Structure 1
């Protein structure tokens, strides 16, 4: 999900919270988080109030001046509005003077109603809405637990966000079907009214339940059919980049493209996948257990537990996880954050650069991908092999680098992004008299710049 606090050179700390674990009202085929059900068993997955308060009581005094709290699932709205009202209260109670807290909610949108809209607007949430393109593509893999299509419910949720003036972005998962239609998908999601869009590849492995729970992967495990090929992913990015660069670059953020601009301008990545270590975002599960990444929620990579610094030596429950060790009125440990397993954390973070010399050592693009996400490597990064998306990355980098370098050079000189081709064409039309200076265009009319978009979604911004 995009953190919009600063499109160029953003700063601050982030924390991901899973208030209902993997619980969800949808049953998406490619869901990367559903297997965590096997880690936790069949217990009711909902965060205890004591855990919720303890997170903010201990984290906020230690974190930076700007903190992003990302609420994810599963489907985080299943926790209910009352849960989040308590969270807002504890944030206010424990934050430092001058500390800014930004709340982000990643949702499938199907449960949003006016009550949710009012709450999200009042508390200035940024909402990430999942949409995989037009209904016939979105509904291919995103359906309810009853097997029904979900696209109509998503669009109703989007209407709620618009009605209440809630800032939102679009998260589009690329699978083996929609990745073949870059123009169709790009045009659809960019016309949903968001200024921030992410394209995420669905790279999922055929793990067994036991392998996932223990954090290991067998040598012969292959990718699931729903995963896009590397070349298809690269081709999608190339086409999306060209459309973005021509029409939308100055007023629409596409996460990966902005990340690469940051790498050109500031020599650092704002996205873990493209950085040199996995260390950017702690993830706290509903029961208080802490991990370094929500793609590695299993016994092997647990770092600690919110309610108890001595979590490794406590009796675990029948699911193998540490049970809740504090209750309302108790005084929890003062420094559970300091009690995180630093050895596991260091090992987890450094796996990012365990790359094959023959493939990555002399690669001209290594500083832009650093091998990608370890989860996208064979056996989830347990062996020294390149990402399965390598050829797609190379295809995209080779295509986009010259343009990105020009954009970065312009930004260094002038402190702003250069005009898009569509904006330049509009300026030419004004000068030639095709478009009159000051000509009024109604919001729902096609933009005179030739982008094919409505004026309110294009040059009006």
Structure 2
């Protein structure tokens, strides 16, 4: 549990902390219970409030999209903590284990995040960024994004485990056992060796590494074919469109349509503060 002594340690080593919270108690506790099956929300909120006492250590909040939750309620609940960033993530899923949907024909996750986008713009009092949405704006404007879930840039991050082992993005564990393991560690190997490892090369070849459908898609420069784990199937490996292909396309087009109403054009550098745009209808 987070305590002032931990903040002192983080301060000493320049560590910032992000906290996972999926929304109000009813939303968060659907998937984030303690090992004993109890609510984790109260303890999480106490940790967030402690971090807010030293805002330079507070990296932001991370929330997994859940179609059972109301996106406006979730956004406003998280924004009330005044985080610098809210990072929404799509549930990890593959073609062999697809994401839950109430209507398989509809881009429901795209609808959900589009409502977050509209709410974010309609609440000018909030000053936080939303990483997925800002990356969509940046990538559509010819600017490199900040994370590897979108865009075509090669990966630039690795995961260091507590035993010193160096792994690829840890979300690959949702694909298959050992998918993130590189067989490297900080004691014998450099980070350059990790980044040039064959398991890290999936995105080093731009559109050539993507499924044929993705290569000809007009929004591929923004979605990048989707997040690597979400492309996987036992038969086709990673050379598939994302299981969120339709959702990403819907969201990207929704964001870009909104920006066009403010005289933005693809490839143009966005306004100094995207969040300063007026709310959409």
Sort the TM-score into its range (normalised by shorter chain).
Answer: 0.7 to 0.9
User: Which of 351, 360, 375 lines up with 2:214 in the alignment?
Assistant: 360
Matched, 1:188 2:74: no
| 2:97 counterpart residue number | 222
What is the deviation of 1:399?
A: 1.3
Aligned 8 A contact 2:144 2:153 in 1: no
Flag the 1:370–1:235 CA change in 2: closer, same or farther, 3 A.
same
Supply the distance in 2 between the matched residues of 1:346 and 1:163 (Cα, whole angstroms).
38
Aligned partner of 1:159 among 18, 31, 49: 49
**Distance in 1 separating the partners of 2:58 and 2:48:** 11
Structure 1 equivalent of residue 225 of structure 2: 371
Other structure's SS at 2:202 match: helix
Q: Matches of residues 240-255 of structure 1 in structure 2 within 5 Å?
A: 240-248=116-124, 251-255=127-131
Over 3 Å counting, the alpha-carbon distance change for 1:183 and 1:176 in structure 2 is closer
Partner in structure 1 of residue 32 of structure 2: 142
> Is 1:421 paired with 2:275?
no
Shift of 1:125: 3.7
Task: List gaps (5 residues or longer) in structure 2.
Answer: none
Separation in 2 of the partners of 1:198 and 1:339? 29
Distance 2:240 2:192 in 1: 33
1:302 equivalent among 162, 182, 189: 182
| RMSD value, Cα | 3.3
Unaligned runs of 5+ in 1: 1-110, 206-219, 310-335, 423-461
1:142-194 per-position Cα deviation (integer Å, ceiling 9, x unaligned)? 0111111101111111221223444341111113422xx11111111111221
Answer 1 or 2: higher relative contact order, Cα 8 Å, separation at least 6: 2
CA contact (8 A) 1:303 1:344 kept: no
Are residues 288 and 417 of structure 1, via their aligned partners in 2, closer, same or farther at CA, if it must alter by over 3 Å?
closer
For residues 415 and 160 of structure 1, do their structure 2 counterparts lie closer, same or farther at Cα, with a shift above 3 Å needed?
A: closer
CA distance 1:337–1:374, shift in 2 (3 Å): closer
Alignment match of 1:130 (pick from 8, 13, 20): 20
| Superposition deviation, residue 370 in structure 1 | 1.2
TM-score (norm 1): 0.51
Separation (CA, whole Å) in 1 of partners of 2:119 and 2:274: 16
Partner of 1:287: 163
Aligned to 2:6: 116
